[in-house]
Amino acid sequence: MNRMFAIVEREMRKFFRSPTLMIMSLMMPILQLVIIGNAFGGKIVGTHVAVVDHDQGPQAIKVREAFDAVAANIKTFTTMNYDNEVQAREDVRTGKIDAAVIIPAQYSRRVYAQDAPELGIVVDNSDLFTSSALEAEMQSLVDALNAPQIQDRLTKAIALEIVELYPYVNYLKYLLPMTVALAMYISVMIGGGMLYIDDKARGVHEGYLVTPITKLELVFGLNIAGAMKATLSGICIGVIGSLIAGLGVVFHPMIMMQMLSLIVAGSIAFNGMMFLLMVRVDDPLVPRAMFGVLNVLLLYPSGAMYPIASFPKWMQAIGVIDPFTYVIHGFKAVLLKDGGWVAIWSDILFLTVFGIATLLVATPLFKRTL
Amino acid sequence: MSAATNAPPALNGNCGGKPVAIEVQHIVKRYGDFEAVKDVNFCVAEGEIFGLLGPNGAGKSTLIRMMTTLIPVTAGRALVAGHDVSEDPDDVRRMIGVIPQALTSDQDLTLEENLLIYAKLYGVPREQRKKNIDAVLEAVDLTKWRDAQTKTLSGGMRRRLEIARGLVHNPRIFFLDEPTTGLDPVSRIAVWEMLDKLKTSRNLTMLLTTHYMEEADKLCDRIAIVDHGNLVALGTPVELKNSVAGANVVEVHFDREDDEWQGRLEKIEDVTSVVPEGSGFYRVITKSGSKTTMQIVELAASLGETLTSLSVQNTTLDDVFIHYTGRQLRDEQVKPVFMMPPRPGAQP
């Protein structure tokens, strides 16, 4: 046991003696949280929409007033008057403006005559997000123009009442579980992957192998140290990320316990997986070549950013055996839903079993000789 | 002259009745079809410094790695401190200290921390650890650097730390794989002196590999010359030198290169071999240095040729190596040893 703890001690001392490495492995996921959280969560504002009014009638003025209201309030777009429809289309195509609304001639007459009046919108659909936002905004404006001025006392339409179980979850909060999981993964990737292979290549392991340390002591020493480093990363990012995202629940004692359990189980699972992947690798370039792709391969199918239900079957299958899936599900259940132990026990169980299973497979593959 | 007929008697592994620390019997190491070590036998007596001398790729490191349990033995047997390396590897590991070729101490840790980790790995009892660390730091003259981070040390000091690391559990037998490779001449001599002192003060048996002739000559009680996986000669440096026919080497440089010089030199009385080294340089091995020198001077004078330089020296291990392997050690291309580049910001 002393020998095993000597390995743990060595790894931890090295970890704390590399402040740059430590800070970078913590800072990068936080930066990712801030940047992706704001990138995904922000509303589209300040786009430019051309209005080509061939009608100039009272109903056209009503449309333009509605546009002015949008520009003054939610600021999704501001309007610019164009006389030439062809020029407006060309400017959308070249990116000078984001869309063009065409109010055709005889629009007002058709509205009064209830003769299928139409408004046209030309959008740059190579930019999915902006075009979707503008289309949605225009559709709601058109719906408002279609709505009768005076409502029936008893409405005939079926209404859908939406009940949100939890307070509003912005993207920063939504992405926090992914960020914490990613910090743990990066810690394991650097400590359990790159540094492990670098140590092997530098001959550090050769130094261990000539001592009377047993194979199990060595394997468990390396893995306990790796899991401890990932746990520390998870705790740090959990706390810092919660403060940034405004999730005070993380300081509730029970939530802390649940988070800690998930972080420890997740660290064991990530570390076991990494050790299994690296156990027979000798070339220091292999982990560097692998990790960029592995990151994507594991993170996206986990449902961290997009729901698993939207993936093809083969991606859903990866998600089933992907430890990220369970870590993120658990974190979401605890941080965003206060789901309690009942919501996370299966995640903790899977992660623990996964970690132990990967270690059991990796241990016989670990060579006690060079 | 074949190696077998010239080899001193110890080639069969006889330790001359002295207590044996290491015994290697018909040891073989194969990698697929390639035989890296071929039926090697030798023994090392207790308290002896034993050198394995040979070029890179000769099989020295493979031999030392088998003896230190790092790689399995394909055939044959190696006993270290009475324990079979294949059957009782843990017992062997408890008795030995090993200094690998690369510098592997943790650069971010202090000297004391490095030694402490290894004291724990070797199972040194808690109450003994500090005492052992003090003693080995003193032995390698690094006491005042105890709390310094390893990355702040010079190459020579780091090598001394590695040596201290291998001694922290008071081993009986010490294996050193090319302990001075990469060191400057001053540091190299310091390491030699330190090893010599350690041998006496700790009654250590040492087995070291080297491709430096001078190192083997100065440090080792006995030397085994290894080439292409074979042990081609074994004996004390003096025995090995004496086993080479011709006691002296005359190095001569003629002003003018001529294809006939070699033939003329070989015809001189007492000359046993002539090695042309190019550009008019010749290395003449002779039974009588003074007599041959005179004859070379007379020969040059009779032919009206000018001698640029002429020197006589005793047989060196270089000559022994040439004699047994048919080539010079420096002819071998030195393979680069893989070293991880230091992390940015780390001191070299």
Q: Which of residues 209-268 of A touch B (CB under 8 A)?
A: 209-214
Q: Are residues B43 and B166 in the same domain?
A: yes
* pLDDT over 50 (residue B181): yes
Highest-confidence segment of A209-218, B187-196, B233-242: A209-218
| pLDDT number for residue B245 | 63
Is B196 inside any structural domain?
A: yes
Helix (H) or strand (E) holding B215: helix B213-219
Cα angle: A312, vertex A316, A320; to 5 degrees: 170
User: Chain B: residue nearest A217 by CA?
Assistant: B121
* pLDDT over 70 (residue B247): no
Q: Are residues B233 and B179 in the same domain?
A: yes
Q: Is A370 on the interface with B (CB under 8 A)?
A: yes
B150 vs A166: CA distance, rounded Å: 54
Q: Are residues B257 and B177 in the same domain?
A: no
Tens of pLDDT, residue by residue over A91-144, are 999 889 999 999 999 999 998 888 888 899 998 888 788 888 888 888 888 888
Tens of pLDDT, residue by residue over A276-316, are 999 988 888 888 888 878 888 898 899 888 888 888 899 99
Which residue of B90, B93, B117 is in closest CB contact with A10?
B117
Is B36 inside any structural domain?
A: yes
Length of chain A in terms of residues written: 370
DSSP assignment of A180-235 equals HHHHHHHHHIIIIIIHHHHHHHHTHHHHHHTSS--HHHHHHHHHHHHHHHHHHHHH
pLDDT tier, B335 (very low <50, low <70, confident <90, very high otherwise): very low
With beta carbons less than 8 A apart as the criterion, state whether B243 and B234 touch: no
Cα angle: A190, vertex A194, A196; to 5 degrees: 105
Q: Which long-range contacts (CB under 8 A, 24 or more apart) does B140-143 make?
A: B140/B164, B140/B194, B141/B194, B142/B111
Is B65 inside any structural domain?
A: yes
Q: Residue B227 maps to which CATH number?
A: 3.40.50.300
Q: A20: which chain B residues are within 8 Å (Cβ-Cβ)?
A: 345
Q: Is A1 on the interface with B (CB under 8 A)?
A: no
pLDDT tier, B11 (very low <50, low <70, confident <90, very high otherwise): very low
User: Chain B: residue nearest A203 by CA?
Assistant: B104
Tens of pLDDT, residue by residue over B129-138, are 999 999 999 9
> In this structure, what token pair is assigned to residue B168?
């922290």
* pLDDT over 90 (residue B114): yes
User: Chain B: residue nearest A12 by CA?
Assistant: B109
Global pTM reads 0.76
What's the average model confidence in pLDDT over B320-340? 58
Are A370 and B70 a contacting pair at CB < 8 A?
Answer: yes
Question: Total domain count for chain B?
Answer: 2
| pLDDT number for residue B87 | 94
* pLDDT over 70 (residue B260): yes
Which residue of A202, A212, A370 is in closest CB contact with B122?
A212
| pLDDT number for residue A352 | 96
* pLDDT over 90 (residue B91): yes
Which residue of A14, A208, A370 is in closest CB contact with B108?
A14
- Residue ending a domain, among B206, B241, B276, is B241
Q: Are residues B151 and B230 in the same domain?
A: yes
Is B328 inside any structural domain?
A: no
* pLDDT over 70 (residue B2): no
Q: Are residues B189 and B273 in the same domain?
A: no
Q: Residue B281 maps to which CATH number?
A: 3.30.70
What's the average model confidence in pLDDT over B165-174? 93
According to DSSP, the β-strands at B173-177 and A120-123 are unpaired
pLDDT tier, A151 (very low <50, low <70, confident <90, very high otherwise): low
Q: Are residues B121 and B142 in the same domain?
A: yes
Question: Residue B114 CA to chain centroid, in angstroms?
Answer: 27
Question: How far apart are the CA of A212 and the nearest CA of chain B, in angstroms?
Answer: 5
| pLDDT number for residue A149 | 64
Q: Percent of chain B, pLDDT > 70? A: 89
Q: Are residues B176 and B289 in the same domain?
A: no
Q: A206: which chain B residues are within 8 Å (Cβ-Cβ)?
A: 70, 100, 102, 104
| pLDDT number for residue A210 | 92
Q: Are residues B288 and B169 in the same domain?
A: no
- Residue ending a domain, among B189, B206, B241, is B241
pLDDT tier, A36 (very low <50, low <70, confident <90, very high otherwise): confident
Please give the mean pLDDT across all residues of chain A.
Answer: 88
Q: Are residues B59 and B29 in the same domain?
A: yes
Q: Are residues B235 and B283 in the same domain?
A: no
> In this structure, what token pair is assigned to residue A202?
């530098």
Q: Are residues B224 and B263 in the same domain?
A: no
User: Chain B: residue nearest A205 by CA?
Assistant: B104
* pLDDT over 70 (residue A22): yes
Give residue B258's domain range: 247-314
